[in-house]
Amino acid sequence: MRFQPGQLVMTAGVYARIQQDAEFERQVLAAYRRYLDGDWGEVDEEDAKENERSLKHGFRLLGAYTINDTKIWIITEADRSQTTILFPEEY
């Protein structure tokens, strides 16, 4: 783990999908583990570099992952108090 993620929360949409689909839940947890290790998923090169700067300077972090044609984002607040898993349309 490259940083402290704070409290893990998810939006109502992600929670509902997890309740209905065990495989989706497994894949979300796998994406979260990748994120904690600094694998930012499908962000572009500029966002990946920004995440690396953010680790050093305490700014917000963003990861993007696709699970069975469904995109999720994982965002950690700058103060590292909370990490949220959400669908991009819920942002």
Count the helix, strand and coil residues of the chain and give each as a percent rounded to the nearest 5.
45, 25, 30
Angle at 23 between CA 21 and CA 25, to 5 degrees: 75
**Residue 1's pLDDT is what?**
93
pTM over 0.85: yes
Structural domains for the chain: 7-90 (3.30.2310)
The token pair that represents 76 in the structure block: 């950690």
Confidence of residue 13 (pLDDT cuts 50, 70, 90): very high
- Average pLDDT rounded to a whole number, residues 23-36: 98
